[in-house]
Structure 1
Amino acid sequence: MRAYIALLACGLAIAATESAVAVTTTTLTYQQGTDGYSGTVERRIGRAEAEQGDDPVDTVDASFYLDGGPTASDRKDLLIRFENTSIPSGAVILNASLGFTTSSVTSNNVSGGAFNVYSLSSPFGSDETFDSYTGGNGLDGGTAMILGSFDGMTTVETTSYARIDREMQLVANGGTSYGFGVRTDRSGDGWSYHTSVSSAFESRPTLNVTYTMDSGVELQTQNPTVDIFPNGVNADTAGTLINGNSADQYFLDGEDLDNNSYDQPYLVQFGGLDLSEYDEIVQAELVLVTGFSNGASDSPGPFTVHQIMQPWDENTTYESLDSDSDASSNETQELIDGGFIAEEAQSIIDMNDTEVLYIDVQSIVENWRAGDANYGLYIASGGTGNGWQIFTSGATEAGFQPELRVVGRQVPEPGSIALAVLGIVGLLAARRR
């Protein structure tokens, strides 16, 4: 009888703690010449006649620059792919990146970025040129989706990482990847990185993928169901309301009345999420792309991310958020004290022109899973008067709209837990006979 009770208790304990087991992850790293891997293919394509197409060089002895921007005569883009990889079918990608190490920095080419990574829409050959790839003009006609950004490449032998989760999830889902394109979409500063034939083996490009195969873990992605910029950008438009679906990209801003700049937050909601079956939120990230259309789209920040605690819609005005009878300025602390938003969950700093950012919002999404109403996210100036331009729900190019990426783990089916316990009971009963 004691054994019966002990094993029954064990079965119940397993059922009760099943959801507390950590998610099992695997990380794969591919680097030319490491652990026998030899599948990296690179091709630099340039606008200048003498630089139409170049194979990688040993960057211990020479530089190998990517350069631009889009209309520059010395523009150089990169095509790169990693062949013979083994991303398991059905994997949930938790983090995937390209890692490039800076090989050379000069006074004329100190690149802070951003250099953006795109998935390719077509394969490329070993003899590809700027004019031949997808009909000409480098990467301009050959990209499928923006993925991530290299940023802050100002010091030799430091490695920068650009996220490529969406492309690796495509592969895990059975899709075809043609590789990656790297280019600068605004910066005119070149960047020399260690290539796949560099004699500094440890500095060669890497493809890094962390995934899980655990049952019950799944990825949801959502674009905004509504997003707005209430107030306006200057004295002429103060009090106006910009709906994200009517603009391709727009500015968040902080109050700087000396320079005719008014507070302008960003409210965004992802109403299509279904978190009801999850036992926990494993990961949640908000993906935003900094604007392309304005030379002042970057910002040192900070901007802060908050959970919205009360209902709002596309007609919510800046003035309607007021709780202290002064609708001309609704500071973040006022909105916290008034119950419209929660305390800061995340701070965003050093946003570069055209940069893709992955912002951790796991704590907020976990609150939604635990029962808080999903009223969305509020992003506001954390004290800066330096505006930050982002792409909105009105963006039409793939990957540019804000995206919420949520990895959740499903609650085990009650029936399966009951069957497991009944199985233990049956086994014990048979033994007693």
Structure 2
Amino acid sequence: MKRVVITGMGVISPLGNDVNTFWNRLVSGESGISSINTLDTSRLKTKIAGMVRDLDAEGRWGKKEARRLDRFTQFALAAAEQALEQSRLQLDKANRERLGVYVGSGIGGIHTLIDQVNVMNERGPGRVSPSLVPMMISNAAAAQISIRLGALGPSLSPVTACSIGNTSIGEAFFAIKNDEADIIFAGGSEAAITELSLASFGNAQALSTRNGEPARASRPFDIDRDGFVMSEGAGILVLESLESAVLRNAPILCEVIGYGASSDAHHMVASHPEGKGAYAAMNNALRKANIAAVEVDVISAHATSTQVGDRSEVLAIKKLFGDHAGKVPVTANKSMLGHMLGAAGGAEAIALVESLRKGIIPPTINADNPDPECDLDIVREGARKASLNVGLSNSFGFGGHNSAIVLKKYE
């Protein structure tokens, strides 16, 4: 069984379109949530989101090529390009048959779908673009990355809702560990901020309606939380066998040592109230990592800022960690990022890598009045310096999909 390390990372997010900017703003406790100015929100209950700004797709790929890529694929490609650069992988020297791509999306090309539905309704079926399907399907991001890398190895596009990022990283970890590939680009991408999406989530009463205070709307573990804030972006990491990374003198950022997955088998949109699935995923991840709960130095919580979801995750952590639960620092990146849906796990994994490398835990902002039922060591006072060796990152999704990854400082 091979050891698996991370050698490159790339992020597109409401807090910046490169890892350094993203990390610095995260540590500073800045919010990436703002009023939506990219569409008409007059008919919507929720008028705020975490939006990606300043991504010049036409400047990167040219006008013609950019128009052939849905927004979520643009995000994924931009993040993958960053990860490739940091990894120092020379594609012309790589064994392409051992190079894979595991990148998923929960909703896929919804912008393209809506645009083309409007075209058909207004101009007829004969004017619908033949590119609709290859732009819309959820595996488009993985496919486009594979094409550009010339990656002939395993390609996978998991659809496990908001746990996609962790699922992709975890399955890539298993593939490399079991010698099915040497290098895999893994993560998730999402671009679902549309009137339709906001209307649906809003009517389900899942979204925060704190429209007058966008920066204070996402408030995990706070007693006054009123729902999650939809966000967009991509997080892509390069996973690689330690043997391959050492052989080519690649920058080794962190080690992946565990992954666990589970299902709530409970409800399509509500977390199991006792956190049974979340517990199982974390427990499986620690078991695969062959470590005890007391060895975990920091938890990156899923913590979307919903009443039931946050409490159920806390219950799961308490069950797994027992008397040690209150001694492990917990951070919630979504307090600043919002919920990037299928991209959340990838972006939050990148933040955890940086935490382990730099010994800093980003804060959980807006948890001004902690929920008494969420009585863990929530990092609320600002970024916290700590000696960190092992980190656990949770991602849970609609349908009861749960995934957890364990990362370790590389030595």
Q: TM-score, normalised by structure 1?
A: 0.31
Q: TM-score, normalised by structure 2?
A: 0.32
Structure with greater strand share of residues: 1
Q: Specify the structure having the higher radius of gyration (Cα).
A: 1
Of the two structures, which has the highest relative contact order with CA contacts closer than 8 Å and spacing of 6 or more?
2
Structure with greater helix share of residues: 2
